[in-house]
Structure 1
């Protein structure tokens, strides 16, 4: 297994989440917490949806990206940053860099959703393409960082990125009060690890669950085997969760603080996209539906509980979205 890329070897702690909250205050949106009587009835629980699809850049990733770039020393920041991402981290780094006046280079797969590539370029970043099935994005990122003197900010295995993502759980619990459960989406583990740090501190005794696509179950396998398991690039519509292993920083936090990890199918993700569009009037990308899908499709025992559910992003090509949510014959 290749060593996960990280510029921050020290594991984050709750104090880092609090620092991140101060850094992003007034810049990141304090996204709404939405409820639905229909969803509550379906789940038999009281559900609180943290709508990060309404975050700047269209996803929770803006929190970690802005926090990470803001934390760099001025002289380092001026040289620029580089990131690799299938889309949401790419857009987040591009947008945060523009706001902070920092040059940005983003390594993106050739098959990344067009809306994400266009948005990344629109924020002013340089995009370098690669084939996700035959090339290693981390190798490309390292080589470019060294050649150009850029600071590499990976999408999840980075202290300030993890801390930034944790601010969404901090906000959620500040608004809802103590919760019985928190359900988050899982790719490389930045969101789940950050949320676990915040939730365990702010809502003692809370049960924390991660949800990943069935085709990409490296997180579930790693959690149960007690070691980081590496898999081939999974083929799933949840492009933001097409990661192949958990990070050196995210895995220990997840193993220590998370209750369990479950998976959902692409077909179930599509049903949840339809639910959000038809009943809650929200556009949510497949990856953004992971947590809600587990709750609404009975993958977790939520009966009678107060449950926080992360809706992680809404960056989906509108043509693809229309095709996926269109009623089947």
Structure 2
């Protein structure tokens, strides 16, 4: 990737420039709404749902939420990571996994050979898709240390340039373009159909986004989104950005690390949200530690992730992978998040943008997932 002398500041302006660069190579994925999910999010949880939590015995929150879903599951290779991959490779050309599939596709499109390091426990469908885009797959262990050792060896043997999946400014800037598109699309939607918004402005048009929530693994998407929305809009409005993680086997490293003020460098979790098993990167930690950019990170259980996948299939008629379900699960089930919306939005409510990060799953994988949960 570009070396430090060519690193760009991670700013809204540079995300806009990144979008101009990658636009010919990516899809502008649609933004969808769903009245049923709005209603579910705006209905208080049952007291039983709060048992065993810090909120047991309290009155459940009554937030008012309207959702706008940025469907990166319809993106090329079925995931947002194509944005960062194309931007990174184009920046290398300029100056000199999802990510695996994205790099393979980008390299193939630009006629560049690609060597893809993938954990041996990766889903077979992701491995085959990566190979299908022309990438040479090299397997590694599942921990970050094991992957980095294989990366170093591959670079020594091939002379290849590393395209990092999340911990590099070029990648973060590319991932931030999803937030850029989301804001513009929502503004257009609520202008044309004001009823999609939780409230109307003085001009009679619907108001835009109040908050955005994305999955958080390595942190490229979340920190890129947070950087794009860091500055108040022209009308002085601040759009808040939240992160969402699975809690299983310590996969909520970003939440815990940010709370402690120290990045957690390793994660060993087999959460079903396989795209979020990586530790948060150093760049993401530096960005998300800034409270003016990130309002917080929340985590959810495996069963809550499965519940949301089922809801999205049944109510929206689209398929998302487990990692993509995590942000919506926070909105529906995390009482702390729901209390923030209720307290700060009041009766007006919030328009919440949710980035569905990808849809890379199979019928077999989903059948196994739900067979396990019902047995």
Does the alignment reach a TM-score above 0.5? yes
Aligned partners of 2:2 and 2:150: how far apart in 1? 14
- For structure 1, which runs of at least 5 residues remain unmatched after alignment? 77-86
Return the offset for 1:148.
1.4
Q: Tell me, what secondary structure is at the counterpart of 1:249?
A: helix
Aligned residues between the structures? 314
Aligned partners of 2:351 and 2:267: how far apart in 1? 36
Q: Tell me, what secondary structure is at the counterpart of 2:361?
A: coil
Matched with 2:352 is: 307
Matched with 1:82 is: none
Q: CA offsets, 1:268-315, max 9 Å, x none?
A: 111111011111111100011111111122442245211011100000
Matched, 1:181 2:211: yes
Q: Which of 311, 315, 318 pairs up with 1:282?
A: 318
Return the offset for 1:221.
1.1
Asked if structure 2 preserves the Cα contact closer than 8 Å seen for 1:16 and 1:160, the reply is: no
Return the offset for 1:184.
0.7
Matched, 1:43 2:41: yes
Aligned partners of 1:243 and 1:115: how far apart in 2? 19
Matched with 1:19 is: 17
Q: CA offsets, 1:133-161, max 9 Å, x none?
A: 59610121122113311110111001111
Matched with 2:367 is: 322
Matched with 1:199 is: 229
Distance 1:224-1:298 versus aligned 2 partners, 3 A rule: closer
Structure 2 length-normalised TM:
0.79
Matched with 2:72 is: 52
Aligned partners of 1:118 and 1:191: how far apart in 2? 24
Q: Tell me, what secondary structure is at the counterpart of 2:25?
A: coil
Matched with 1:160 is: 170
Asked if structure 1 preserves the Cα contact closer than 8 Å seen for 2:31 and 2:70, the reply is: yes
Q: Tell me, what secondary structure is at the counterpart of 1:284?
A: coil
Asked if structure 2 preserves the Cα contact closer than 8 Å seen for 1:6 and 1:157, the reply is: no
Distance 1:289-1:263 versus aligned 2 partners, 3 A rule: same
Q: CA offsets, 1:81-104, max 9 Å, x none?
A: xxxxxx411011011111111100
Asked if structure 1 preserves the Cα contact closer than 8 Å seen for 2:271 and 2:302, the reply is: yes
Aligned partners of 2:111 and 2:363: how far apart in 1? 30
Q: Tell me, what secondary structure is at the counterpart of 1:151?
A: coil
Asked if structure 2 preserves the Cα contact closer than 8 Å seen for 1:207 and 1:259, the reply is: yes
When Rg is computed on C-alpha atoms for both structures, the one with the higher figure is 2
Asked if structure 1 preserves the Cα contact closer than 8 Å seen for 2:144 and 2:266, the reply is: no
Aligned partners of 1:126 and 1:133: how far apart in 2? 20
Which of 65-74 and 28-37 deviates more? Answer: 65-74
Asked if structure 1 preserves the Cα contact closer than 8 Å seen for 2:144 and 2:278, the reply is: no
1:1-329 equivalences in 2 (<5 Å): 7-8=3-4, 11-44=9-42, 45-73=65-93, 87-133=97-143, 136-177=146-187, 178-201=208-231, 203=233, 204-215=237-248, 216-244=251-279, 246-256=280-290, 257-299=293-335, 300-301=337-338, 302-303=341-342, 304-325=349-370, 328=374
Structure 1 length-normalised TM:
0.90
- Superposed CA RMSD: 2.0
Distance 1:75-1:260 versus aligned 2 partners, 3 A rule: closer
Q: CA offsets, 1:173-202, max 9 Å, x none?
A: 111133111111000110000001112247
